[in-house]
Structure 1
Amino acid sequence: MNDDPQGSVDHGGNFRRGILRPVAAVGRWLDQVDPGTHRRIKGLRLVTAYGIAAALGTLQDIAHSVPGSVSLGYLAGSFALWASVSEGKTTRAESSRDLVLLSFAAALGAVLFVVFSRPLQIASRAGPELILVTGAFLVGYLKRFGVLGAGLGSQIYIGELLAYGARLTAADLRAIGIAALIAALASIVPRVLSGPAERPISIPALAAGPAPCSGRCSPEFFMGLQAAIGALVIVVLNDLIGLVESSWAITACTYVVAGSATGTIQRVRRRIIGTLIGVPLGLACLPVAVHAPLLIWAAAAFAMVVYAMALPERYDIACAAFAFTLIVTLAASGVHSIPLLAARAWETLLGGSIGLVAAMFVFPLRSSGTGE
């Protein structure tokens, strides 16, 4: 028997410290994911903008003049969601201006796809995908014009991607214009209401490019080339062997390219880790998607809030949240093919790997930053 009370106290203190240590570690991890209330407000704003745009797009008075081949609510909601992600100004006036520009940049991307997809489709089966190559280039190149330029490049690509996925045609041009107007309104309203409680954040995928290098073309030009060449390789692979959903691979390739080869390696690793976590979680929720779609949409909304909170510092968690959202929303919309949904993981791996190779061997950038 230990009769030393001091020893007993020390033992209890060691026990408490042993318990508190992992609790403190979890607390530090949560601080990285959710460092401030403004991040939660940003996430809620994304979800609100999407919800308002999707609701307005389904109103009979608005949707009756739009052809039935395109979901106006989905198109407007996607424009508004990603415009809200890309925007990062301090004042309401600046934010509102940028949200309008970003919404119409997405519409511009969709229009570019509509205009050029038909001639390219006649030339090649994979022709329409070549338009995504131009968007991939702009995602990198327009970073030379700051955060707004980076957001505009991203929105043009997203517009092309949405038009490619929905197979939009010239008959849908009116819908694209209406969707842009709805998206601008739907994204401005929650930003005005959030006010000074929300502070701008630096988004890795949309951050301005590295410092210029003397005697060479701008680094952003090389970043655009790296993304475009990687995307072109994926288009060729799809034409030769056929990929389940090649646009997922092109998107992964486009957004992993950073301001240096080291930064690209980090982004590829984090994107792959996040996707390999988010996709299985989404697949595990498939039975719920069939029987309780409302619950799945609520889970997707929560995941997008996590996406906004984690994106600046924890790109891996943000990618996991988005991969989960994509899988469960596809399932809630009626897509239940396990091979198709699981392809999100391995095609992200393919696209990220090709983007990494392009960043390392196509005019590699050796800037001092991480590129994050």
Structure 2
Amino acid sequence: MKRALLLLSASLLLIPAWAGPGHDHGDEAAPVTAGGPRRLPDGSVFLPKPAQRQLGLRTQAVAAAELPRSQELQGQVVMDPNAGGPVQAAQSGRLIAPPQGLPTLGQRVQRGQLLGYVEPLAGALERSAQAAQLAELRAALRLAEQRAQRLRELADTVPRREIEAVQAEVEGLRARIAALGQGLSGREALHAPVSGVIASAHAVAGQIVEARELLFEVVDPQRLRIEALAYDISLANDIGAAFVAGESAQPLRFLGAGSRLREQALPLNFNGAQGLALGQSVRVVVQSRSRIQGHAVPAQALVKNPSNQTIVWVKQAPERFVPRVVQVQALDGARVAVTQGLNDGERVVTKAATLLNQVR
């Protein structure tokens, strides 16, 4: 009896396993309807519904439309010349803090606010020469004042022009003494050129500064500009709209273009930069007035395949996604225009495409 059971078990093992409906493993390219996420031999990805919800995967149906032709330019955040400026020392000297202290980064200041002092430095020989000159001027002033007093007493017999000449000499000597005395003991006051915030500070109390040295930089963060370089000169006359590339697609207002090339490119000036830092590099999407036919999809839907080609993932079945090689152009910073590779009505993965692309 035991021998018969063993023979029956061995015969059952030799019988081929028949797959149920929808589970035919003879065709490797057939859609898989069970198991975990995996890459199929034809390059598509099987992703069960629980995994889709876990990844937060979202799709969007696309439709062809006439979209503006766009270009992506490299730009930089610059200062509005009417809403910012540097604070520099006009002469060499020692930096002295005002009563409220030196301003710090990010501190808001008002136009004309005192930021510090620069006390001029002079060597021993220079100071002694200035002191000697000041003594000579004071002696000459005393003589001129005595002469003017005598002439005023003789006003009836002395011509008026002589009295006026001596009086002018007295005033001139007083002005020279005041200017020389200020040069010896005076100090230069540093004031904020505009109302804004301190964008950069290179000042320490007591440091020795040189003439024209940058100490502070004041800028209004609400009035920053973006300067982009366009290598297509004709673009300056065909700008319909502009955006800062990114998820927010911040709109910009075109102010004008330069008339002189810089590094073989034409500088374009835009206004409306918000929440950016001075000197920050940004990507500017410029839309022209001409149109192209394409499908608008979010920029985050684009990924790269192992061949470094730009692809999007298209939902072919409830749990199956296939890659599509596409050609794209910039649209408005947050979206791109797919000019080749998609058909109307197809559902493109717009969220978690990067995670889907990593399934192996």
Say yes or no: TM over 0.5.
no
Larger Rg, first or second structure (1 or 2): 2
TM score, norm. by length of structure 1: 0.22
When you count helix as a share of all residues, which structure comes out higher? 1
Asked which structure has the greater RCO (Cα within 8 Å, sep 6+), the reply is 2
